[in-house]
A and B are shown apart, each in its own frame.
Chain A
Amino acid sequence: MQILILLIQIAVLVAIVLLHVAYVTYFERKIIGHMQVRMGPMLVGWHGLLQPIADGIKSFFKEDIVPEQADKPLFLAAPIICLVAMMVSVAVLPFAKGWALADINIGLLFIFAMSSLASYGIILAGWASNSKFTLLGALRSMAQVISYEISLGLSLVGVMMLSGSLNLTEIVEAQGTSFFGMYIFSQPVAFFVFFVAMLAETNRVPFDLPEAETELVSGYITEYSGMRYAMFFMAEYIGMFVMASIGVVCFLGGWNGPFEVSIFPPIWFILKVYLIMFIFIWIRATIPRYRYDQLMAIGWKLLIPLTLGNIFVTGLVKASIN
């Protein structure tokens, strides 16, 4: 019985997440459209509301082209690895009190592990396509993920030290319900580093080098088409969602809000996540792209020293208070 309930819960979560992804693309296209003096999708449904569904159907029925010289098993597996790794990390997110599918003790570590695993998918895609542009994209992605994973992890060490836990629910509870209890006020440096690393980790502008369209055509997804292309796309947007959720959980007080909405507890969580997503999109509409070596320089020369300093100061303060 318990297993059945769990399965239903999983099915519901997966369905919601997939639908959510579809409408995040709509959200993004509309916002970017209006920022760029155009309308965004307008044709399918009222103000293009059915556009994501049409896109989904289109990519589902498109031919799945596998290049003749590709490493076939890896080529076919890569998008699945990417998508699964990202989907799994959704399981540990606490949407509200008790609303986590798997409230495990090492939630934060689990998410890091999964997002690193997703980069395997990217690297394999780049390698297996047997194309020069995809390989360059994969190399860039590998370098980027490795260097920014470090600063992402280190930036959250401060949060772990303050809350004393890796469990996401406990991190939220440690921040309390007051406005100034949010870790964004006690850990501003960590939040800054986390935010930058989050952009890099999800391959968003200005760190979208692995798929820099004007340089590498489409990076590691150049050779993909149809549903497999859509899988990478979904993985990217779920990644955005997961990273924004961690940001909310660790720095913005999770599901706590100014007042409680008993009908739908996760409302504050979702609003905060969408606030961060909006900033993602806003940045995409505004900022140009970094160069590869500049990206590396920021990661290693700026973010990592900053986080290390932050950990040191946090430790000192915590020790002195105790």
Chain B
Amino acid sequence: MSKAMTVDIPVSAGDEDHYRIKMGPQHPATHGVLRVDLDLQGETILECVPHVGYLHRGFEKLAEHRSYVQNLVLTDRLDYIAAMANNVGYCEAVEKLLGIEVPLRARYLRTMVCEMSRISGHLLGLATHALDIGAMTVFLYCFRERETLLELFAELCGARLTPTYTRLGGVRQDVTHSIMMKLERFVNEFPANIEEYETLIDTNRIWLMRTVDVGTLSAEDAVSLSITGPSLRGSGVDYDIRKHFPYAAYDLVDFEVPLGETGDTYARYRCRIEEMHQSNHILRQCIEQMPPGPIIGDDAPDLVMPVKQGRKLEVDAPARQGLIKLIEDRETFMEGDIYVPTEVPKGELGFYFISDGKGSPYRMHIRSPSFIHIGALKTMAKGVMVADLIAIIGTMDVVLGECDR
């Protein structure tokens, strides 16, 4: 057997002591299929070039060939950690484009599932962030609470990760008494659980050494890098879509936007923890204020399956054809374009639609926060150590499904 040729990138003269390493796409700390090409001197990163696209599924192209209703399921596959928030974001955008009114109860339900998915998204973000830094127990504690939420999602709509719960004009199913009871129990217990995570890491000396002054972003830099969500608020910029462009029932509930000051990894971690407290607060208000009424709007009857007594729930093939036909025949599709941002756990998820009056979007652009956050890695990781890069990837809380679309 002949010896295999050594394949290596030629190193230019003067750079012989640099160590080039390709971290990913299969690597435990890159949260999916992110590849980071590192140019190291010792353990210090001289240059860091992130590569994405391993999970590119062409959603934007696909969306142009599918109707608005069909595109809804694509949004589940964006940020699969908190898919409910994507559903809501997509529906809010399409409803604004088509001019559909959403009944109040549905708006509250959307707010509720949004906040549930925000908590579960932040929990997973914190869990993996802590695991990356080496705090293994936090990981499992976070998953314990996330599990409760996922079970609730399953009870609500039958799926844990890809719920497709919202519909254009409302939501798919009403909540049952059992769900509300379980959610209430969760809401009552959750603050104590957050304290439990805090006892493990919040004032832990090693955690502080690993997060304080690591990956610091000034407010100007963060805005210039288009970073959004908790990562931006950690730098002290007061920008939360829920306050700036209220959607669902966010203008009816009371909550605060926690802000960090220093813009380092620790500030972002604190922001996420505080945001979970606020989400819990919103959930409690949703439970208390949940108004009665329909869960789906009257002016979108042919966009959903009608709920009738005795009707089979599964849609057979001809009926599905009819459904699509109905959508395509609608005359309410307006021409024009619209950009609707929503606040998902990772940041600002925006949908830019161009409609030319047909049943499917002419152009759908997804502004995904993870894509932009990974783009910021290059700037943030300059001159830090490999271990810090791991902490930075963790603190930016990226999901590759959303990044690569």
Which residues of A pack against B, CB within 8 Å? 32, 35-38, 68-69, 132-133, 136, 205-206, 208-209, 212-217, 284-294
Contact = CB atoms under 8 A, between A and B. Distances in A.
B333 to A, nearest CB: 48
Interface in B358-392: 385-388, 390
B134 A214 contact: yes
B209 A36 contact: no
Number of chain B interface residues as a range: 20 to 34
A291 B134 contact: no
10 contacts: A35-B137, A37-B140, A132-B21, A215-B387, A286-B137, A287-B135, A287-B204, A288-B201, A288-B210, A291-B210
B336 to A, nearest CB: 47
B43 A136 contact: yes
Interface in B181-217: 200-201, 204, 206-207, 209-210
Interface string B130-169: 1111111100110010000000000000000000000000
B141 A37 contact: yes
A36 B136 contact: yes
A214 B21 contact: no
Nearest to A287: B206
Contacts of A69: 4, 6
Contacts, number: 84
Given A214-B390, A215-B390, A291 B385 contact: yes
Contacts of A289: 133-134, 206, 210, 387
List the 8 closest A-B pairs by CB distance, nearest first.
A289-B134, A214-B29, A36-B140, A288-B134, A288-B135, A291-B387, A288-B133, A214-B132
A293 B385 CA distance: 9
B29 A38 contact: no
Contacts of B6: 69
Contacts of B4: 68-69
B28 interface: yes
Contacts of B390: 214-215
B133 A36 contact: no
Contacts of A32: 136
B136 A284 contact: yes
A209 B27 CA distance: 16
A287 B43 contact: no
Contacts of A294: 209-210
Contacts of A38: 140
B134 A205 contact: yes
A300 B390 CA distance: 25
A275 to B, nearest CB: 21
Given A286-B135, A287-B134, A289-B206, 17 more contacts: A68-B4, A132-B20, A132-B21, A136-B21, A205-B134, A206-B134, A214-B390, A217-B28, A284-B136, A285-B136, A285-B137, A286-B137, A287-B135, A287-B204, A288-B210, A289-B133, A291-B387
B255 interface: no
A36 B142 CA distance: 10
A288 B207 CA distance: 6
Nearest to A209: B387
Nearest to B20: A132
B250 interface: no
A176 B201 CA distance: 41
A293 B133 CA distance: 15
Contacts of B388: 291
Contacts of B206: 206, 287-290
Given A206-B134, A287-B204, A288-B130, A217 B27 contact: yes
A111 to B, nearest CB: 28
A292 B43 CA distance: 8
B140 A212 contact: no
A63 B21 CA distance: 27
B19 interface: yes
B130 to A, nearest CB: 7
Contacts of A293: 43, 385
Contacts of A213: 28
Contacts of A132: 19-21
A294 B385 CA distance: 11
A35 B134 CA distance: 15
Interface in B1-44: 3-4, 6, 19-21, 27-29, 43
A142 B43 CA distance: 14
A208 B141 CA distance: 22
Nearest to B211: A288
Nearest to B209: A294
A35 B196 CA distance: 13
A164 B134 CA distance: 41
A36 B136 CA distance: 8
A133 B26 CA distance: 13
